[in-house]
Amino acid sequence: MIRSRSYKTVVLFLLIGCTLSAWGQSREKDYVRQDSARFRVWYCPEDAQVVRGLWQTIRDRIPVVERQLGLALADTVAFVVTPTEKEWFRLTAGAPLWTNGLAIADRGIAILKSPRFGLPYGPLPVTAIHEYVHLLLEAGAPRAAYPRWFNEGLAQVLAGQLDYMDNHLLARAGAAGRIHGLNQIEGLMSMSAPEAQQAYAESAVAVQLLQSRYGMTGMSNLVHEVRAGRRFEDSFSMIFGAPVGSFETEYLAYIQRTYRISLIGDTELWISAIFVILVLAAGMAVWFRRRKTIKRWSEEDGRASPVSGEVSPPPYTVNYTLIRGRLHEKTEDDSTEDNPPFDRPMPGN
């Protein structure tokens, strides 16, 4: 009877747990919608506080970005704030988890991640501007019209997103000869998180280098040429007066020259190097100490071993030959003592 009650209790708790889990999942997918004249935001009630800041950024920053590029989207743009990793994977069809957002240009949707399950790079409103730049560039343009480095780099620059910019990371990559070429950045979505961070940083550096020379007007002219149907490489050469290959050579040299000095202040690198040196020093000390001990033991064993050709008696044994000799001498002395000198006849008597 007791076992039956215990079993029923366990089953009851399992049912309650499953019910609560299902209710929680349904709540996370129970999106709320807010609309304005041009924008729409889908989110869960748990993210209401974050969405307030998102709306403020949309109103303040997006008009500035549109003026800088001379572009605007006529259709309503939707921002979807996913509440969980599971929902993120469902809506993005399995995009990497290190990605903070994903723009779907043909649907006018930017998918974002709730801060409740982590944002490794940048706050939600900044990511929203980043994704909106992707929508601006890709809407009305041929598919894959822009190389990945330009698309991602311009989105970071216009969003003011410097979270990916790690000077020490670029310095270490430059010192090790691991700087990505511009074509290598095309494989960004298949990279690991550290590799992707470096690729994002390099993209931002490339676009910043272009902007420093030709201004945002040059960036805008390039975008408009591509949207008019011209190839990116042809538009680049026409506007900037040099092919993309020549710019890539300058970009690689610029990274090597600019970020090399950062190695001096790379605290993480120096701490790691000192730790490795200390570990090696400790290992060498232990090795030398062990070697010295083994040598001392060998020397002691050499002194204790018998000389070649001589047979030493084993330790703690009795030399019976010597004892028998001494006993014989003692017996003779005892027989002499039986006739004392005053009992002997005097000479001549």
Length of the chain equals 349
Mean pLDDT over the full length of the chain: 78
- How far apart are the C-alpha atoms of 134 and 307, rounded to whole Å? 89
| 7 pLDDT higher than 50 | no
Task: Note the pLDDT tens digit of each residue in 54-65.
Answer: 999 999 999 999
Residue 235: other Cβ atoms inside 10 A: 20
* pLDDT score, position 1: 45
Amino acid at 112: L
* pLDDT score, position 3: 44
Please tell me the least confidently modeled range out of 53-57, 84-88, 169-173, 258-262: 258-262
Is residue 86 a contact partner of residue 94, using CB atoms and an 8 Å limit? no
| 330 pLDDT higher than 70 | no
- Better-scored residue on pLDDT, 328 or 204: 204
| 177 pLDDT higher than 90 | no
- How far apart are the C-alpha atoms of 214 and 2, rounded to whole Å? 82
- How far apart are the C-alpha atoms of 159 and 65, rounded to whole Å? 8
The mean per-residue pLDDT over the stretch 244-248 comes to: 95
- Better-scored residue on pLDDT, 43 or 348: 43
Q: Band of the pLDDT at 276, cuts 50, 70, 90?
A: low
Is residue 128 a contact partner of residue 94, using CB atoms and an 8 Å limit? no
Q: Band of the pLDDT at 296, cuts 50, 70, 90?
A: confident
Residue 256: other Cβ atoms inside 10 A: 16
- Please tell us whether the domain made up of 27-140 is placed in CATH 3.30.365.10: no
Name the residue ranges covered by the structural domains of the chain: 27-140, 145-266
- Residues with Cβ < 8 Å from 56, sequence gap 6 or more? 125
Q: Look up the pTM and report it.
A: 0.68
- Better-scored residue on pLDDT, 256 or 165: 256
Calculate what percentage of the chain has a pLDDT beyond 70. Answer: 69
- Better-scored residue on pLDDT, 100 or 135: 135
- How far apart are the C-alpha atoms of 34 and 55, rounded to whole Å? 10
Task: Note the pLDDT tens digit of each residue in 301-311.
Answer: 666 555 555 55
The mean per-residue pLDDT over the stretch 226-238 comes to: 94
Locate 327 and state its tokens.
């006993």
Residue 62: other Cβ atoms inside 10 A: 20
| 6 pLDDT higher than 50 | no
* pLDDT score, position 16: 35
| 265 pLDDT higher than 80 | no
Q: Band of the pLDDT at 172, cuts 50, 70, 90?
A: confident
* pLDDT score, position 152: 95
Element (H, E) at 286: helix 267-304
| 293 pLDDT higher than 50 | yes
| 40 pLDDT higher than 70 | yes
* pLDDT score, position 157: 95
| 247 pLDDT higher than 50 | yes
- Better-scored residue on pLDDT, 271 or 230: 230
